[in-house]
């Protein structure tokens, strides 16, 4: 009898732990909800966005966030939500995780370093400070640059040695590898590309194709690149401390070219021959919200690539899709896009190990060249947290805001010059070179609160009922739960990006209208309108650093396009 009672008590306690933190109906007050079954005497509610209008006002990080302590009565607590997301901890504030490995961490950035003229903390100091654990850098390993003469097996990896040698050892590296920038070899007309450089690059590829002109020589290049950075002690880069174990094949195909599936398979096999433990990512799905148009573009241009893969054998380990938009609700569109992509992939039997988002973003300020609304630093900060939490709850494993940690991409004051978290001192709405936005501090708080969680067990406690979202994470390192909650106002509940690229006359356009507007050109989202892409176009497509970043990248050096960097 005593044994039976003990078993019953144990079962009850197990259920109590399992269902701890259930949401009960709120008291009718807008923006409030109740947590029940809490095994705590109090909860600590911390706003995720600093209590200022701009990051430049933050003088002390530790006191920058509003907090309140709420007593738990009979296992219940009522939480009132304001305009910012909140973290909810049990009994006290949790320490940040100190882990032996951060390969499970979802916290990435593209790119993760900072290069601002006159800034004292250039490099990876800020990445380390805010908890970034994955870096996708801007210099892609291009065959036609590494092996300048296709007939001589003479490789020059010096630019890439310089890019990766200073990445801290606890920040994992995702590298991109390709033959040449897609805009350079694309059949689309592009008056801005160098004819002589294009002529040289075309020697490395088959006509209108991703495939190399000589598969054996290309495979040898891939072997050499992967071997140099895999950290196995054989032909490694001198002084290598932080191995590269994640490789992405190109970016945002098809880019007007054919045979990406075969190219992916060829590159995958070559990578695995040199580094069996390395993981290979397929080039990310391009596009912009709304989800309906994103899905339509995926079906018409990207899905044909996937349809070619089943007959080739295993060709990638990790699937990547990109998701941008505004800071007033577009984050939710990722659910529809992800579900559609996953359904198509499952139907083909491709079974990726994980799904990543290696380009994600929203802006602050008022970017030029597009019909978008002004957004505050606080809106961007809260949105980035929502994008991480919401995507993780779907099953996405890694997320990389782009482009990049510091502002400054094309230097045209466009969308991608406003998505960073540190001002570069250039363009509209800029508060000064090196000044941090509110989102910088929100990212840091997010990483401190959530790092060490069981990323495969993110519980959706409340999914938008009354425009309230509540998610439960389990900190494995502490054995404790932590909640993230927010309320979307009525506009955010339905406001998905509907803006289109514009013509020069500020007339809204659409894909297929024959006008290559500035946003179309910048993101490469309407290939039927744009005859070509400029070098560096797209948030990562052919990016080889950025003019004014102080680094003379291989394309900059070859084309002489950034004299301020290359002298």
Output the DSSP codes for 67-134.
EEEEE-BTTBEEEE--SS-EEEEESSPPPPP--S--TT--BEEBS--B--TT-TTTBTHHHHHHT--E
Instruction: Please name every residue paired with 422 in a beta bridge, in sequence order, or none if there are none.
Output: 406, 436
Q: Judge whether residue 358 has pLDDT over 50.
A: yes
Asked which of 240-244, 369-373, 474-478 is least confident by mean pLDDT, the reply is: 369-373
The verdict on residue 16 lying in a domain is no
Alpha helices for 139-283 (secondary structure H): 143-146, 158-164, 182-185, 195-202, 215-229, 260-274
The verdict on residue 12 lying in a domain is no
Contact between 387 and 362 (Cβ < 8 Å) = yes
- 232 CB-near residues (< 8 Å, 6+ apart): 275
What DSSP designation does 483 have? E
Contact between 114 and 126 (Cβ < 8 Å) = yes
Overall number of domains in the chain: 1
Q: What is the pLDDT of residue 538?
A: 38
Which pLDDT tens digit goes with each residue over 20-44? 455 554 444 568 999 999 999 999 9
The verdict on residue 445 lying in a domain is yes
Helix and strand numbers (H, E) in the chain are 17, 18
Q: Which of 28-42, 362-376, 394-408, 501-515 has the highest mean pLDDT?
A: 394-408
Of residues 385, 501, 362, the one with CA closest to residue 86 = 385
Which pLDDT tens digit goes with each residue over 322-339? 999 999 999 999 999 999
pLDDT band at 549 (very low <50, low <70, confident <90, very high): very low
pLDDT band at 495 (very low <50, low <70, confident <90, very high): very low
Of residues 266, 562, 210, the one with CA closest to residue 411 = 562
What global pTM score does this model have?
0.84
Which pLDDT tens digit goes with each residue over 507-538? 333 444 444 444 445 445 444 445 433 333 33
Which pLDDT tens digit goes with each residue over 258-293? 999 999 999 999 999 999 999 999 999 999 999 999
Q: What is the pLDDT of residue 371?
A: 78
Label residue 204 exposed, middle or buried (CB < 10 Å: 0-12, 13-18, 19+): buried
Rounded mean pLDDT, 48-75: 96
The verdict on residue 40 lying in a domain is no
Q: What is the pLDDT of residue 330?
A: 95
Q: What gap in Å lies between CA 475 and CA 480, rounded to an integer? A: 5
Which pLDDT tens digit goes with each residue over 286-336? 999 999 999 999 999 999 999 999 999 999 999 999 999 999 999 999 999
Q: What is the pLDDT of residue 491?
A: 52
Buried b (16+ CB within 10 A) or exposed e, 24-44: eebeeeebebebbbbebeebb
**Long-range contact list for 525-531, CB < 8 A, 24+ apart?**
525/286, 525/287, 525/288, 525/297, 525/501, 526/501, 527/188, 527/255, 527/256, 527/301, 530/188, 531/188, 531/189, 531/190
Rounded mean pLDDT, 57-73: 96
Rounded mean pLDDT, 327-353: 96
Side-by-side strand order, sheet with 459-463: 67-71, 42-47, 86-90, 480-487, 468-475, 459-463
Q: Which domain holds residue 555?
A: 108-454+509-559
Q: What is the pLDDT of residue 518?
A: 41
Q: Judge whether residue 65 has pLDDT over 90.
A: yes
Q: What is the CATH number of the domain that holds 261?
A: 3.20.20.80
Please give the structure tokens belonging to residue 278: 């390395």
The verdict on residue 47 lying in a domain is no
Which comes out higher in pLDDT, residue 566 or 346?
346
> Residues of the chain with pLDDT > 90: what percent?
74
The helix (run of H) or strand (run of E) holding residue 354 is strand 354-360
Phi, psi of 104 (to 5 degrees): -85, -10
Give the chain's mean pLDDT.
Answer: 85
**Long-range contact list for 476-482, CB < 8 A, 24+ apart?**
476/452, 477/97, 477/98, 477/99, 477/452, 478/94, 478/95, 478/97, 478/452, 480/89, 480/90, 480/94, 481/20, 481/21, 481/90, 482/87, 482/88, 482/89, 482/90, 482/94, 482/449, 482/450, 482/453
Which pLDDT tens digit goes with each residue over 76-125? 999 999 999 999 999 989 999 999 899 999 999 999 999 999 999 999 99
Please give the structure tokens belonging to residue 237: 């880069």
Handedness of CA 389, 394, 397, 403 (dihedral sign): negative
Which comes out higher in pLDDT, residue 564 or 487?
487
The verdict on residue 368 lying in a domain is yes
Phi, psi of 539 (to 5 degrees): -75, 70
Q: What is the pLDDT of residue 29?
A: 53
Q: What is the pLDDT of residue 193?
A: 83
- 283 CB-near residues (< 8 Å, 6+ apart): 248, 249, 250, 251, 252, 253, 260, 264, 320
Q: What is the pLDDT of residue 313?
A: 94
The verdict on residue 82 lying in a domain is no
Please give the structure tokens belonging to residue 401: 């805001």
The verdict on residue 88 lying in a domain is no
Q: What is the pLDDT of residue 192?
A: 80
3-state secondary structure of 274: helix
């Amino acid at each position: 009898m005593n044994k039976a009672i003990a078993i019953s008590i144990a079962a009850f306690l197990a259920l109590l732990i399992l269902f701890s933190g259930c949401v009960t109906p709120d008291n009718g007050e807008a923006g409030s909800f109740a947590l029940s079954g809490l095994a705590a005497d109090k909860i600590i509610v911390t706003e995720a966005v600093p209590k200022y209008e701009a990051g430049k006002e933050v003088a002390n990080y530790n006191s920058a966030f509003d907090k309140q302590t709420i007593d738990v009565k009979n296992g219940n607590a009522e939480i009132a939500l304001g305009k910012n997301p909140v973290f909810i901890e049990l009994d006290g504030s949790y320490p940040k995780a100190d882990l032996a490995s951060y390969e499970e961490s979802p916290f990435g950035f593209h790119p993760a370093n900072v290069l601002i003229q006159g800034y004292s903390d250039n490099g990876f100091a800020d990445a380390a400070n805010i908890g970034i654990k994955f870096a996708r850098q801007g210099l892609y390993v291009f065959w036609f640059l590494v092996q300048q003469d296709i007939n001589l097996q003479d490789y020059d990896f010096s630019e890439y040695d310089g890019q990766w040698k200073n990445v801290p050892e606890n920040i994992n590296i995702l590298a991109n590898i390709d033959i040449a920038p897609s805009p350079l070899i694309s059949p689309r007309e592009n008056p801005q590309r160098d004819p002589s450089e294009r002529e040289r690059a075309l020697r490395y590829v088959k006509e209108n194709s991703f495939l190399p002109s000589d598969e054996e020589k290309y495979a040898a290049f891939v072997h050499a690149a992967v071997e140099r950075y895999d950290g196995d002690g054989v032909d490694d880069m001198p002084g290598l401390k932080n191995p590269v174990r994640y490789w992405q094949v190109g970016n945002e195909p098809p880019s007007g070219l054919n045979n990406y599936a075969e190219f992916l398979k060829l590159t995958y096999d070559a990578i695995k021959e040199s580094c069996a433990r390395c993981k290979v990512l397929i080039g990310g799905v391009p596009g912009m919200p709304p989800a309906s148009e994103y899905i339509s573009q995926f079906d018409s241009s990207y899905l044909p690539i996937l349809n070619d893969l089943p007959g080739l054998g295993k060709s990638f380990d990790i699937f990547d899709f990109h998701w941008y938009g505004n800071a007033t609700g577009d984050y939710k569109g990722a659910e529809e896009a992800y579900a559609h992509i996953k359904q198509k992939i499952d139907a083909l039997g491709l079974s990726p190990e994980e799904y990543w988002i290696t380009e994600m973003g929203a802006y602050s300020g008022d970017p030029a060249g597009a019909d978008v609304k002004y957004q505050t630093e606080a809106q961007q900060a809260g949105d980035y947290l929502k994008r991480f939490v919401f995507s993780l709850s779907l099953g996405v494993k890694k997320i990389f805001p782009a482009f990049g940690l510091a502002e400054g991409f094309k230097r045209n004051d466009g969308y991608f010059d406003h998505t960073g978290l540190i001002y570069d001192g250039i363009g509209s709405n800029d508060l000064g070179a090196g000044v941090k936005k509110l989102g910088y501090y929100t990212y840091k708080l997010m990483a401190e609160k959530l790092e060490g969680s069981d990323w495969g067990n993110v519980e959706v406690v409340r999914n938008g009922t009354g425009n309230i979202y509540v998610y439960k994470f389990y900190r494995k390192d502490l054995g404790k739960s932590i909640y993230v909650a927010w309320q979307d106002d009525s506009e955010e509940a339905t406001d998905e990006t509907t803006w289109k690229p514009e013509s020069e006359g500020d007339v809204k356009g659409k894909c297929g209208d024959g006008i290559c507007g500035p946003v179309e050109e910048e993101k490469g989202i309407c290939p039927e309108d744009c005859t070509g892409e400029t070098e560096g176009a797209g948030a990562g497509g052919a990016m080889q650093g950025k003019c004014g970043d102080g680094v003379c990248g291989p394309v900059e050096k070859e084309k002489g396009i950034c004299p301020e960097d290359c002298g």
